[in-house]
Amino acid sequence: MKKEISYNLSFPQKKSHYCDVSITVSHPENDITSLSMPVWTPGSYLVREFSGKTDSVNAKSIDGENLKTEKVNKNIWNVFNPEKKDFTFSYRVFGNELTVRTTRINNDHAFISSAGVFMSVSGMENCGCKLTTVLPEGWKKISTGLNRLSENVFFADNYDVLIDSPLEIGNQNILEFEIQGIKHFICLTGEGNYKEKIIINDFRKIAEEQIKFFGGKIPYEHYTFIIHLVEKGGGGLEHLNSFVAQFPRLNFNDEKLYKKFLGLVSHEYFHLWNVKRIRPAELGPFDYNRENYTKSLWVAEGWTSFFDNVFIRRCGLINDEEYFEFIENEYNDVMRFKGRFKQSLSESSYDTWIKFYRKDENFSNTQISYYTKGALVAIMLNIEIIKNTNGEKSLDDVMRILYKDYQNDSSRGYTQERIKEVCESVNGRMLDEFWSMYVDGTDEIPIEKYLSFAGIEVTDSSDSASAALGVDFKTENGKLIITKVIDGGSAYESGLSFRDEIISVNGFRVNEEILKNIFSDKKPGEVLKLILSREGIIKKISVTLLKPIPKFKIKRMENISDEQDKIFKKWILG
């Protein structure tokens, strides 16, 4: 019989944002047992130091004897148990931050981001994990990807599965639908102006389209969508057979924002295959005590960012023009800024632990996102394959081969070399230059040329005759504060800085509206006199105006050839 660890989760101090956790270890093999809290959560590549939310640590043997515990690292505790008795290790976790990767506990509900709540037992990571959840009075529902043994008792095959299964606990609204007899649960926490039938219909369409893409066989016994309806916010995080996402509660009637949300749903669901099964070799088995580096997130996330919107187009939730808007956003995110010349896709993937999740005001000038540039390179690679195979093959075929790799050996992830090898086998040609320039290098990506092969054109929608500062700003306590200075813009070349307060321009005190009016008739080459406050010190700076940073528009060409139409249809329809 497989050895088992028992976890207990309760909420005696929920109003103070605490949960209590106890871990019972039977038949320990050593007189010292180490328990550790992960420092990061899979899918979100930043060391978050979850152990900082832990207190009240203690251990008792099965007969009630207090056992010595000692913290030996920032996230590791030792339990001294010379007689090797069964024992229970207990602690509290504080959680009052509602994101897709952190825990929130209050009187209304609890969202348990498991990697920040449940510790592992050293040497027993492959043991089964039984979780018993004690519900406070008035709470009636538990939503999770874990397998249910009884109403409040769940089971995971091992520790990896346990912490890859968040829990939503309280009185959430749970919608259901089935595909091939397999249940899918949509857990909606909080109030919102959604329509239940529409949500079910749209989520089902996305799931069915992706299941069909990978051959029609569903790789799970049940699936749970956990959706937090919030005042403001967004984002999602994938798990083995569930995901967590946020969406503003009153935005369901905004067609554009709702369709963007469906793109997020498609993205996180696609991770079922691309990340949770088709994964970089470095991302499993995990080391939860330190960073796990990989150069392949441009495939794991970038290709997912390509396919997510393709699928909502294929299942009819958006039309071509709406799909182009998604591409347009990714195009502008990359091609307007000089970061694309400073950091490669593989570097961006590798450095995610120290850069991507710690974006500063200089991010766009020195870095790129492996999500957005990864999606653009995926478009190029897709069109390259379609062209070279006369419309017979595409990036779809690459994904299916990678999935077969997983099915043949689920313990082995892919390498960068394997990704290139499969792409070349489908393409029928070597891709050495493509890889060196656009994956490992910082050459300009010729995305405009590739889009033209599919009958799509790119235009600069900015007014080249006008001028701009090249900054982002916000109004803060009545002050106009610079939040970003774009490399290549007027402000950057003139020495304006992040957090500068713009007080006046050409002698006029400004706010957002006045600044907009001042720039309405300015031309490149004109000089403005600015008065700033920089850390409380008044500065006078002359700014020579340049053309605005380009803003790109993407649309279908009016006249396209049969070849362009063929490539476009293969891309869009598969």
User: Which tokens go with 121?
Assistant: 């037992």
Rounded to whole angstroms, how far apart are CA atoms 117 and 92?
9
pLDDT of residue 336: 95
pTM of the model: 0.96
User: Which tokens go with 37?
Assistant: 């809290």
The helix/strand/coil state of 246 is strand
The alpha carbons of the chain give a radius of gyration, in whole angstroms, of: 26
Whether 532 contacts 502, CB under 8 Å = yes
Task: Give the CATH architecture of domain 471-544.
Answer: Roll (2.30)
Whether 535 contacts 541, CB under 8 Å = no
pLDDT digits (tens, 9 = 90+) for 100-125: 999 999 999 999 999 999 999 999 99
pLDDT of residue 1: 60
Whether 68 contacts 80, CB under 8 Å = yes
Whether 551 contacts 462, CB under 8 Å = yes
Rounded to whole angstroms, how far apart are CA atoms 218 and 208?
10
Q: Which residues contact 58 (CB under 8 A, 6 or more apart)?
A: 66, 69, 89, 90, 91
User: Which tokens go with 236?
Assistant: 């999602």
Domain residue ranges in the chain: 4-170, 173-254, 297-460+554-573, 471-544
Classify residue 305 by burial, with Cβ atoms within 10 Å: 0-12, 13-18, 19+: buried
User: Which tokens go with 570?
Assistant: 């293969």
Amino acid at residue number 395: L
For the four alpha carbons of 404, 406, 410 and 413, in that order, the dihedral sign comes to: positive
Rounded to whole angstroms, how far apart are CA atoms 119 and 37?
4
Rounded to whole angstroms, how far apart are CA atoms 413 and 275?
9
Neighbours of 405 (CB within 10 A): 17
Of 155, 174, 43, nearest in space to 99 by CA: 43
145 CA to centre of own chain: 19
pLDDT of residue 218: 98
CA distances 466 to 10, 224, 491, 525, 544, Å, are: 62, 51, 15, 10, 13
| Averaged pLDDT for residues 146-173 | 97
Element spanning 426, H or E: helix 416-427
User: Which tokens go with 85?
Assistant: 């008795």
pLDDT digits (tens, 9 = 90+) for 516-543: 999 888 999 999 999 999 999 999 999 9
377 CA to centre of own chain: 18
Identify each DSSP E strand in 1-119 by its residue range.
4-10, 18-25, 32-36, 54-61, 66-71, 76-80, 87-94, 104-105, 110-112
The verdict on whether omega for the bond into residue 285 sits within 30 degrees of 0, i.e. cis, is yes
pLDDT of residue 224: 98
Rounded to whole angstroms, how far apart are CA atoms 530 and 471?
14
User: Which tokens go with 356?
Assistant: 């991507």
The mean pLDDT of the chain is 96
Strands in 223-230's sheet, in edge-to-edge order, are 173-179, 182-189, 223-230, 242-248, 236-238
CA distances 88 to 308, 360, 419, Å, are: 44, 43, 46
Neighbours of 375 (CB within 10 A): 28
- Which CATH number is 4-170 given? 2.60.40.3650
Encode burial over 456-479: b for 16+ CB neighbours within 10 A, e otherwise: bebeeebeeeebbbbbebeeeeee
pLDDT digits (tens, 9 = 90+) for 309-341: 999 999 999 999 999 999 999 999 999 999 999
Rounded to whole angstroms, how far apart are CA atoms 84 and 255?
61
Identify each DSSP E strand in 273-428 by its residue range.
none
User: Which tokens go with 558?
Assistant: 């009016």
Whether 98 contacts 111, CB under 8 Å = yes
| Confidence grade of residue 466 (pLDDT, cut at 50, 70, 90) | confident
Element spanning 225, H or E: strand 223-230
| Averaged pLDDT for residues 463-489 | 91
Rounded to whole angstroms, how far apart are CA atoms 225 and 248?
16
In 177-251, alpha helices (H): 196-213
CATH top class, domain 173-254: alpha beta
pLDDT of residue 463: 75
Whether 446 contacts 380, CB under 8 Å = yes
Whether 103 contacts 97, CB under 8 Å = yes
pLDDT of residue 424: 98
Residue 44 DSSP class = B
Tell me, which fold does domain 297-460+554-573 have in CATH?
Answer: Neutral Protease; domain 2 (1.10.390)
| Averaged pLDDT for residues 383-394 | 98
For the four alpha carbons of 371, 373, 376 and 378, in that order, the dihedral sign comes to: negative
| Averaged pLDDT for residues 422-429 | 98
